[in-house]
Copies of this chain bind each other. A is one copy, B any other.
Amino acid sequence: MNIPTYTAQQIAERFGLQLHGDGDTEIHGVATLAHAGPGQLSFLANPRYRAQLADSRASVVVMRADDVEGAPGTALVAKDPYTAFAKISALFEVAPVREPGIHPLAVIDPTAHVAANAHVGPFVSIGARSVVGEGCVIGTGSIIGEDCVVGDGCTLIARVTLVTRVRLGKRVQIHPGAVIGADGFGLAMDAGHWIKVPQLGGVVIGDDCEIGANTCIDRGALEDTVLEEDVRVDNLVQIAHNCHIGAHSAIAGCTGIAGSAKIGRYCLLGGHVGVVGHLEICDKVVITGKSVVRNSIHEPGEYSSGTPLTDTRTWRKNAARFKQLDALARRVAAVSKENE
């Protein structure tokens, strides 16, 4: 592996940043302000870390214009230092090489079509009538069932399962263990015994989506489960059948979204959030971690539920009172009235 090297000047030009200091400074890696050493580039985005700037041994730091005054060493000025840093840091990412071609220990159905320049790793199986587009990487142990479409430039890192009728847009990235297109959880009771409601729909995932490790997105019962473009989903998330997630929304780990929920564009769901089924969340809604959404939300903004953490003894006393809250409120109303 050759370590890539760039000068501060080259980076400034490439990303349209303003340079303060020595443009010849060579950079061969990125690090946090606290841990960067010579030859490394860092960033200052959160004002909380400004104090670290003076002591940082980073050769170059990306920062806002306001922070340049008094900054030691070479600075690159960006309106959004974190975003600029994300782009710069991609220069130093060494992605593993995945050569085009189908591994001899892959099993491809004769009716499937795999682009000649796609990579198909060992222990992959691709089912009937499925299509893998140009430049895709289908990593080791991935399983693509029947009637799937993997758009150009997609990466299934490894051990991804697309069960059936899953259609990925372009440049979708899916992490190991994710299961897309399994049966939705549809049940009907018949004479004291469950019967399964057939799940005849599929899953449609838009361009540039990313799906985390061990996340599940079920296929729809009658219509499709849909993620619009650029939806970002973390690990261990459950997206049930017939959900619809708007473009550019991001969903953190362990969140569960029940069936037929409709989530808007540019929404942010924190970790461990629960969303009840058959409701609607409008665009630009933020739900903080561990909250539960039991009703539709029609106004953009940030929403929360839950109670604060305390020592268990205190918690027990207060939690017991929660059961009396309505009675308490009634008594307060009565006392207030008496006092009038």
Check if A331 is an interface residue, CB within 8 A of chain B: yes
List A202-232 residues whose CB lies under 8 Å from chain B.
208, 210, 212-214, 216, 218, 222-223, 230, 232
Using Cβ atoms and an 8 Å threshold, which residues of chain B touch A308?
Answer: 294, 305, 319-320, 322-323
A182 contacts B235, C-beta separation under 8 Å: yes
A4 to B161, CA, bound (A): 28
Check if A190 is an interface residue, CB within 8 A of chain B: yes
Using Cβ atoms and an 8 Å threshold, which residues of chain B touch A82?
Answer: 188, 197
List A300-324 residues whose CB lies under 8 Å from chain B.
301-312, 314-324
Using Cβ atoms and an 8 Å threshold, which residues of chain B touch A234?
Answer: 185, 238, 240
A interface size (C-beta, 8 A): 126
Check if A28 is an interface residue, CB within 8 A of chain B: no
B293 contacts A304, C-beta separation under 8 Å: no
Check if A276 is an interface residue, CB within 8 A of chain B: yes
A212 contacts B128, C-beta separation under 8 Å: no
B122 contacts A83, C-beta separation under 8 Å: no
Checking B176, B290, B307 against A143 with a beta-carbon cut-off of 8 angstroms, the contacting residue is: B176
List A232-261 residues whose CB lies under 8 Å from chain B.
232, 234-236, 238, 240, 248, 250, 252-254, 256, 258
Using Cβ atoms and an 8 Å threshold, which residues of chain B touch A2?
Answer: none
List A154-209 residues whose CB lies under 8 Å from chain B.
157-159, 161, 163-164, 173, 175-177, 179, 182-183, 185-190, 192-198, 200, 208
11 new A-B contacts, CB < 8 A, other than A89-B200, A310-B323, are A86-B188, A86-B195, A103-B107, A158-B161, A161-B177, A185-B234, A185-B253, A272-B292, A287-B309, A292-B306, A317-B325
